């Protein structure tokens, strides 16, 4: 259930849509799904580290975010990552902010 709005069954983010004809997704094969989930968390963490927030998968069904002060949040859908991360960090993640662009450009 969406922890923000209470709607059931929210987790159908476009990057990992339900496998069906004509739709591009990496959820069809379980090994591919696992590998993609790990890559997604790693990529998100490079952005989240800008505000000292860390993302991990939890029980393969949810995500958990932890902030620098120890605050944490559990959520089911990747759609909720950025609202939750901003709530934990107390500040915005702006992809057009020069400081964030420089941060993710680091080797």
CA distance 75 to 1: 8
Instruction: Give kind and range of the element (H or E) at residue 54.
Output: strand 54-58
Residue of 68, 71, 74, 92 interacting with another protein (CB under 8 A): 92
Q: Does 2 bind another protein (CB under 8 A)?
A: yes
Residue of 56, 71, 74, 104 interacting with another protein (CB under 8 A): 104
Cβ–Cβ under 8 Å, residues 27 and 16: yes
Q: Does 9 bind another protein (CB under 8 A)?
A: yes
* Cα angle, residue 18 at apex, residues 14 and 21 outer, rounded to 5°: 105
Residue whose tokens read 């709005």: 5
Q: How many binding residues for another protein (CB under 8 A)?
A: 48
Cβ–Cβ under 8 Å, residues 73 and 81: no
Q: Does 74 bind another protein (CB under 8 A)?
A: no
Cα-Cα-Cα-Cα dihedral sign, residues 25, 29, 34, 38:
negative
Find the shortest distance in angstroms from Cβ 52 to another protein: 17
Q: Does 38 bind another protein (CB under 8 A)?
A: yes
Q: Which residues bind another protein (CB under 8 A)?
A: 2, 4-5, 7-10, 12-15, 17-18, 20, 22-26, 29, 31-32, 35-36, 38-40, 42-44, 46-47, 77-83, 92-96, 101-102, 104-105
């Amino acid at each position: 259930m969406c922890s923000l709005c209470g709607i059931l069954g929210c987790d159908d983010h476009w990057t990992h849509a339900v496998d069906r004809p004509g739709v591009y997704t990496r959820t069809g094969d379980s090994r591919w799904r696992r590998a993609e989930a790990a890559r997604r968390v790693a990529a998100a963490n490079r952005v989240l580290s800008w505000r000292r927030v860390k993302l991990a998968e939890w029980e393969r069904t949810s995500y958990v975010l932890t902030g620098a002060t120890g605050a944490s949040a559990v959520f089911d859908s990747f759609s909720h990552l950025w609202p939750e991360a901003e709530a934990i960090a107390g500040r915005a993640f702006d992809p057009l902010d020069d400081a964030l662009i420089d941060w993710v450009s680091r080797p």
